[in-house]
Structures are given as structure tokens and as C-alpha cells.
């Protein structure tokens, strides 16, 4: 059954409370776009406009515009580096008034009263102190999931890993070049709290959303099988921080494999990661 863009906007609006001043959107339009009663080519822009209208001019709105391929190319252009986060963030960046934050691997498109502040954030690491994530957690931003469940794309969970100093990650530096699209390239470097190279880390992130629902911290908007939910970042961080303090591997499924890497292989991998790049 098709729905109108106004019905989508009305449902999304139910995720927001008057006290919410910073809104972060994670989305997967491929899961619901075909159900909006508009020509296919018009749907993404219509969804963006509906979200912006629902959020209003007095709030700050962010879409992730990550470009992890910087880790391979070591080049980032604020204007031309295409987001890896889907068509909605890509179109959002092209909208008049939208700015982009500085980080190459974890930039955000942003509009609203605090947009200028967000563009100045770089952080000691991509997810760490003074990063965009750190900023919006301190603002107790409302995180909204549109079309995708939390465990599939809530990158705030990686902020939790760095905050909790989980032992299956380590800091790796990524030097390269950065451009604002106007001036010449400048030297650039970012630090990311990376996972092991030789083994996967299999997560059970679902337990975070389950806990938030059990504590009635998640707001859900019912719209005929659309996935529309929101939760305050402060609630997610508070619960998860305590959980990781009790067990740093609380969100890991393959614990034995990960523990083996921590004990026997981590030190050597960290050493190799700090070697200079071949010329």
C-alpha cells in the first residue's frame, strides 16, 4: 500500500519532542522509497524536504556523509568526495544552506543554528573527544532511524567502543591530503579506532535497542511496517557505558577468537600499523 509524503512527514514528526534541539538521521531509503506515492526519481528529494520541514529551522539537523575510502585514497575534498552513506545524505549535501564537517572518514552534512559550530569540529580521533559524535552526545542529540534497524547503521555504537576503550580495537593514523574544494590541498591526518585486520568482530548490537525498548527510551512511529524509531543519544551512551565497564566484550559474539587476537596478535599488528607507508 502506497503512502503520501505528507503521511511520512507526519509519522516522522512523532519521533521528535519539543525539547530535542539536535537531530541525527540514519536512513536506508531502499527499504521504503518504493512505497511513497511519487515518481521514483522524486522520492529522495521529497523525503529530505519532509524531514527538514518536520525538524524546522530552530533545530540542528545532521546526516552522516562518511567517506571511509579516504583510508585507501588518502585524499578528501569537502565539495566533491561522495558520501558512502546513501542517496539521502548525498542529496542533502547539495541542498542550499547545508554545510559539511571537516573529517574525511566521518563527516556530517548539517543545517541549522549550530551548523557553523559542527563544521569546525575535527576531534582528537574520528569518534573521540571533540569529534562530531562527541559534540552531539554532549548535546543529547536525538538519533533517528528511518528504514533501517539500529544494529545495521547506528554508528554511535563505535563512539561507545572508543569511550569504553574496548581492547579489540586500537588507534591507527591515516595521513593524507584535504581540500575545501576552493583552496589548494593541505596535509591532513585522522586517527581511527580500528578493528583487527585478520579476524572479523561479530557484534550483537541488538541488545542495545532491546534494552532501550525495555526501559521505554525508544520512540516508535507506526507507519504500516516502515521502521521509524528515535532515541536520545544520552540514554544509549549511559546504558552502554555501564555495560562495557562491566564487560568490555559485552557486544561481541566471537569472544574466544577476539580474545585470542588480543592476547597473541594485537601487539604485533599495532606495531606494523605504525610503520611508514611504502614510497
Residues 136, 234: Cα–Cα separation, whole Å: 9
Residues paired with 99 in a beta bridge:
110
Q: Which pLDDT value is given to residue 226?
A: 84
The three cell numbers of residue 278 are 611504502
Residues 51, 48: Cα–Cα separation, whole Å: 5
> At 143, is the secondary structure helix, strand, or coil?
strand
Residue 279 forms part of a structural domain = no
Total domain count, the chain? 1
Decide: 176 and 75 in contact? Cβ < 8 Å. Answer: yes
Residue 250: CB partners within 8 Å, gap ≥ 6?
207, 243, 244
Nearest to 143 by CA among 159, 131, 155, 128: 155
Secondary-structure breakdown of the chain: helix, strand, coil percentages, each rounded to the nearest 5: 40, 20, 40
Residue 230 forms part of a structural domain = yes
Residue 116 forms part of a structural domain = yes
Q: Which pLDDT value is given to residue 277?
A: 59
Residue 198 forms part of a structural domain = yes
Q: Which pLDDT value is given to residue 275?
A: 76
Could you read off the pLDDT tens digit of each residue along the chain, which spans 279 residues?
789 999 999 999 999 999 999 999 999 999 999 999 999 999 999 999 999 999 999 999 999 999 999 999 999 999 999 999 999 999 999 999 999 999 999 999 999 999 999 999 999 899 999 999 999 999 999 999 999 999 999 999 999 999 999 999 999 999 999 999 999 999 999 999 999 999 999 999 999 999 999 999 999 997 877 899 999 999 999 999 999 999 999 999 999 999 999 999 999 999 999 877 555
Residues paired with 177 in a beta bridge:
75, 187
Residue 99 forms part of a structural domain = yes
Residue 278 forms part of a structural domain = no
Nearest to 23 by CA among 209, 216, 231: 231
pTM: 0.95
In this structure, the chain runs to a length of 279
The three cell numbers of residue 274 are 605504525
The three cell numbers of residue 38 are 511519487
> At 42, is the secondary structure helix, strand, or coil?
helix
Angle between helical axes of 87-94 and 43-55 (0-180°, round to 10): 70
**Cα-trace Rg, the chain:** 19
Domain span at 124: 5-273
Helix ranges (DSSP H) in the chain = 5-13, 43-55, 70-73, 87-94, 115-119, 132-138, 150-153, 156-163, 206-214, 233-246, 255-264, 266-273
What's the farthest any 2 CA atoms get from each other in the chain? 57
Amino acid at each position: 500500500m502506497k503512502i503520501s509524503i505528507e503521511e511520512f512527514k507526519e509519522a516522522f514528526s512523532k519521533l521528535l519532542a519539543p525539547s530535542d534541539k539536535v537531530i541525527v538521521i540514519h536512513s536506508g531509503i531502499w527499504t521504503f522509497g518504493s512505497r511513497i506515492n511519487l515518481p521514483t526519481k522524486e522520492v529522495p528529494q521529497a523525503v529530505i524536504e519532509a524531514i527538514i520541514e518536520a525538524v524546522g529551522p530552530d533545530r540542528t539537523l545532521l546526516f552522516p556523509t562518511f567517506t571511509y575510502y579516504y583510508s585507501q585514497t588518502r585524499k578528501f575534498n569537502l565539495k566533491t568526495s561522495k558520501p558512502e552513506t546513501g542517496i539521502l545524505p548525498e542529496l542533502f549535501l547539495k541542498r542550499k544552506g547545508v554545510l559539511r564537517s571537516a573529517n574525511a572518514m566521518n563527516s556530517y552534512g548539517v543545517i541549522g543554528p549550530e551548523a557553523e559550530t559542527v563544521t569546525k569540529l575535527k576531534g582528537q580521533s574520528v569518534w573521540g573527544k571533540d569529534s562530531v559524535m562527541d559534540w552531539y552526545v554532549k548535546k543529547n542529540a536525538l538519533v533517528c532511524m528511518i528504514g533501517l534497524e539500529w544494529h545495521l547503521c547506528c554508528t554511535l555504537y563505535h563512539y561507545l567502543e572508543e569511550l569504553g576503550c574496548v581492547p579489540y580495537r586500537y588507534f591507527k593514523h591515516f595521513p593524507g591530503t584535504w581540500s575545501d574544494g576552493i583552496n589548494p590541498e593541505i596535509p591532513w591526518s585522522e586517527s581511527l579506532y580500528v578493528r583487527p585486520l585478520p579476524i572479523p568482530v561479530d557484534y550483537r548490537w541488538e541488545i542495545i535497542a532491546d534494552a532501550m525498548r525495555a526501559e521505554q527510551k525508544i520512540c516508535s512511529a507506526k507507519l504500516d511496517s516502515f521502521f521509524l524509531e528515535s532515541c536520545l543519544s544520552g540514554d544509549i551512551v549511559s546504558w552502554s557505558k555501564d555495560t562495557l565497564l562491566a564487560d568490555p566484550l559485552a557486544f561481541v559474539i566471537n569472544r574466544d577468537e577476539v580474545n585470542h587476537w588480543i592476547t597473541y596478535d594485537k601487539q604485533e599488528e599495532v606495531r606494523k600499523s605504525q610503520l611508514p607507508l611504502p614510497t
